[in-house]
Amino acid sequence: MQHTNSLINSSSPYLLQHAYNPVDWHIWDEDALKKALEKNKPILVSIGYSSCHWCHVMERESFEDEATAAIMNEHFINIKIDREERPDLDHIYMDALQAMTGSGGWPLNVFLTPQLKPFYGGTYFPPVNSHGRMSWKDTLLSVSTAFHQRKEEIEDQAEKLTDYIKNSNSFGKIKKENDIESDDETLQTIADNLLKNADTVWGGFGKAPKFPQTFSIQYLLRHYHFTKDEKFLNQALLSLDKMILGGIYDQVGGGFSRYSTDECWFAPHFEKMLYDNALLVSVLSEAYQITKKELYKETIEQTLEFIEREMMSNEFAFYSALDADSEGVEGKFYVWSKSEIIELLGDDGALFCEIFNVAENGNWEHENILWLKTTVENIAVEKNVDIEFLKQKIANCKPILLAERSKRTRPLLDDKTLCSWNALMNIAYCKAYAATGIEHYRIIAINNIDFILSKMFVNGELMHCYKNGETYINGFLDDYAYLVWALIHLQEITGNQDYLVKAKEVSNIIFEKFGDTDSPFFFYTDASQKDIIVRKIEVYDGATPSANGIMALCLNYLSSVFIDDELRKRFLQMLVSLQQAIVKHPTSFGVWASTLQINVKLSEEIVVIGENANAVISSVLSQYIPNKVLLFCNENNDIKLPLLADKNYTEEVLYYLCKNQTCLPAQNSLSKFLHFCNI
């Protein structure tokens, strides 16, 4: 019978991958932490996630090796953590690693004292000394020796590092909201700073490896909306176009990979994350509202088809990720040989290979990643063929390749459901419905929020994870904050004001559980959590948006709906504390940049009320009004939100536009109303 360790009882696919290692892995729990104290052993915390390529490599090379496992088991209490299940621990110990080494990544291997304080760490360690990297075995023995022979020095280092993490957690005391000094010039500086870092040839920002940076693209789209300066629109659209044409986008099955290893968006790291696809669909929806460019609508549709085909359960819950590897080889599931394509597509094969740059000997590691150098429209012009004819040829070919690909060994699916990432995808569906009017997206969003509220809200507590009918791990700030933002978006596309009442209720829970009396920000972890060395305040955007930044957007929105000056005050206090950092480093504060935009330009408070409001609301939703607060009522609702005060329900549909709770006269004409909105 094959040996297993305690991870065999885990729900996480990542932890289950390590359940058969000879390493005596523990989960992060009271028993493991107590054992470290009793045995006076240092703790090795190894953090990764199921679709992490180098995590798999290190497991094969080291954690599956009996001799290496023997060293680990003798000298350490070994704890495996799925960073997606415990992002709080990942944040803390990633900060420690970056302080120690200046860089970070996964796998994250960090050594702690029995008191949970970090003193040494790194990412990937090779099995033998290589390219200046100490082998994992040598590292283990060196760390163990240092811990026992230089204990005082180790403990002093751990104490200083822990103090550093705590001190770096401060972003300013609460200030008066009138200290804020943002104006149109501030917004222009942010946009200019984004362009300084922009790749004007291939789109995106910075050098390889390239990540989508959807928040920066969103800011440029919105800045164009307010200024009509096309250079900002052009950079945003260039970024989206190049990603859609590139290998980072799955040309056969839809959906985006995590990032590009090169500046051209050609060779991706092939893992597919739920949150990346959610954020890209959201920003593509805004781009489509502005441009009505068919490419963006097609990409939204194909991406959401992929999500429903491969990452959604029959409960309307979204799964977390698809691995980059299959059969131990990165990208194997997604790449093609030219001969394979020709055989499958017959007479259309040569044309397809030409369009998608398929080479006889491969364009990537002897295989082919499908990508386009330019748009199908441009290719049609170059070839002097009808565009619809060419599109139809491609449309006929893709299902054949998709069907063949489905016979291959599939990448591992991480089938746990995370509340925060589900809320982001819910927002994506809401925005996709608003932009395209496709009713199916609205239905999915409603069903998904029903799942979250019925299955992941337990006794007034939001849970972070769900799998096999069970919830586990208490929710973090992003679970709560993203849910509030999703409820707000869902209300806009349904007219169901119960969602706003629920959003206000959840925001009240956030104040209670995550509020900080010394700063305007919210802690990442619940006040009752005891197994961490510091309660962190996260303000930077990472792969997902800053939960504090999203909370700021929510507080501003809810302050308008409920006419709550205290919520507006808190929103302004948050902005004041970060304004200088937002302006200087907008790629790290993309969501916050949008909050500054809202503060300067103010929200357009829109109320559409009347017997047939439901029939006309899609015409409002399809418009690009990025800073809107929208309510619509097509029946006499029992809920009387303050923003609806003095707006009477009638048979005739009336449109109200308000700013700062001051409303223009009601309009009974959609065209006149849109004129007032400068559309």
Q: What are the pLDDT digits (tens) for 61-99? A: 999 999 999 999 999 999 999 999 999 999 999 999 999
Q: Which residues make Cβ contacts (< 8 Å) with residue 392, sequence separation at least 6? A: none
Q: Is residue 447 very low, low, confident or very high in pLDDT (cuts 50, 70, 90)?
A: very high
CA distance 430 to 233: 23
Q: In the prediction, which pLDDT does 489 show?
A: 98
Contact 426, 442 (CB under 8 A): no
Q: Is residue 646 very low, low, confident or very high in pLDDT (cuts 50, 70, 90)?
A: confident
Mean pLDDT of 133-160: 95
Weakest-pLDDT range from 26-35, 524-533, 543-552, 610-619:
610-619
SS3 532: coil
516, exposed or middle or buried, with CB in 10 Å at 0-12, 13-18, 19+?
Answer: middle
Domain boundaries of the chain, sorted by first residue: 6-167, 177-333+414-601, 338-407, 605-676
Q: Annotate 321-384 with DSSP letters as a single string.
A: EE-SEETTEETTTT-B-HHHHHHHHGGGHHHHHHHTT--TT-SBTTBB----SS-HHHHHHHHT
Q: In the prediction, which pLDDT does 118 show?
A: 96
CATH code reported for the domain at 6-167: 3.40.30.10
Q: In the prediction, which pLDDT does 71 show?
A: 97
CA distance 558 to 572: 13
Mean pLDDT of 379-400: 94
Q: Is residue 178 very low, low, confident or very high in pLDDT (cuts 50, 70, 90)?
A: low
* CATH number 1.10.260.40 given to 177-333+414-601: no
SS3 508: helix
Q: What is the Cα Rg of the chain in Å? A: 26
Q: In the prediction, which pLDDT does 33 show?
A: 95
